[in-house]
Amino acid sequence: MNGLSTVLIFVGLFLVGGVVSFAKQGTSKNVVTLLSIAAGMCLLAGVLRLDYWN
């Protein structure tokens, strides 16, 4: 596990927390959707950079 994959996973989990928080506050669906897409992309990029499958 290298540093960049760790950072991407950490940022993705941070954004997931923001999605949950904004959803509880009743923020508009557009903001929650955009934030969840960004969180998913960060988590996916972090997992794909792990080099676990090589």
pLDDT in tens, 1-45: 689 999 999 999 999 999 999 999 999 999 999 999 999 999 999
pLDDT above 80 for 54: no
pLDDT confidence of residue 14: 97
pTM listed for this prediction: 0.86
Structure tokens of 50? Answer: 């792990």
pLDDT confidence of residue 1: 66
pLDDT confidence of residue 7: 95
Q: For the chain, how many helices (H) and strands (E)?
A: 2, 0
Residue 40, CA distances (Å) to 49, 54 in order: 14, 23
pLDDT confidence of residue 44: 95
